[in-house]
Amino acid sequence: MSTPDAAQRVTIEVTVNGQKYCRAVEPRLLLVEFLRQELDLTGTHIGCDTSYCGACTVQLNGAPVKSCTLFAVQADGGEILTVEGLARDGELHPLQQSFSEHHGLQCGFCTPGMLMSAHALLHDNPHADRKAIKKAIAGNVCRCTGYQNILKAIEAVANDTAGGQ
């Protein structure tokens, strides 16, 4: 298989975690591959390659998306938030802290996707109840925890007066 030449590339411009990037990419490059390979943001995981597991979930223009289902060119002009963009000034985001405090992770493979789905939910519904939380993370699969501590971690932030913002 030969490498595509520059004529086969498309230039895209995206803002990822607040930083603008302009890159020439293959039209068929998946967004998850763009984040991991072009930008070295490896917190977004590739889990199943079928969009089932949700480990690749990021936010595109504020909405959670499975980055293995989108081409990077589809994100052109968009704003992307990855798990690396949650922490600020060396401080964990309240969701990240809560996952740690409530043992909401074991192997950690699903955690970035869970965090991004939960973050989007709490942005729109800062005091989400358990039913809303379950619905928001329904597209994210955890094979280790049984979800109880994940739910507790998200609920703790939702019950906080700041709502995890």
Q: What is the CATH number of the domain that holds 45?
A: 3.10.20.30
Residue whose token pair is 């293959």: 26
Beta bridge partners of 80: 16, 60
Q: Is the pTM of this model over 0.85?
A: yes
User: Cβ(75)–Cβ(57) under 8 Å?
Assistant: no
Within-domain flag for 45: yes
Residue whose token pair is 């993370």: 137
Within-domain flag for 101: yes
> Could you read off the pLDDT tens digit of each residue along the chain, which spans 165 residues?
455 565 699 999 999 999 999 999 999 999 999 999 999 999 999 988 788 899 999 999 999 999 999 999 999 999 999 999 999 999 999 999 999 999 998 888 999 999 999 999 999 999 999 999 999 999 999 988 889 999 999 999 999 855 555
- Read off the CATH number of the domain in which 105 is found: 1.10.150.120
CA distances in angstroms from 53 to 9, 47, 124, 135, 139, listed in the order given: 29, 6, 23, 15, 7
Question: Are 20 and 78 part of one and the same domain?
Answer: yes
Question: Are 13 and 45 part of one and the same domain?
Answer: yes
Question: Are 43 and 108 part of one and the same domain?
Answer: no
Select from 84, 117, 143 the last residue of a domain: 84
Question: Are 122 and 140 part of one and the same domain?
Answer: yes
Per-residue model confidence (pLDDT) at position 159: 93
Nearest-angstrom CA–CA distance, 93 and 47: 24
Total structural domains within the chain: 2
Per-residue model confidence (pLDDT) at position 165: 54
Could you tell me the residue range of the domain that residue 18 belongs to? Answer: 8-84
Per-residue model confidence (pLDDT) at position 129: 97
DSSP string, 38-90: IS--TTS----SSSSS-TTEEEETTEEEETTSSBGGGGTT-EEE-GGGT-BTT
Within-domain flag for 75: yes
Per-residue model confidence (pLDDT) at position 96: 97
Select from 60, 84, 108 the last residue of a domain: 84
User: Cβ(44)–Cβ(83) under 8 Å?
Assistant: yes
Question: Are 25 and 79 part of one and the same domain?
Answer: yes
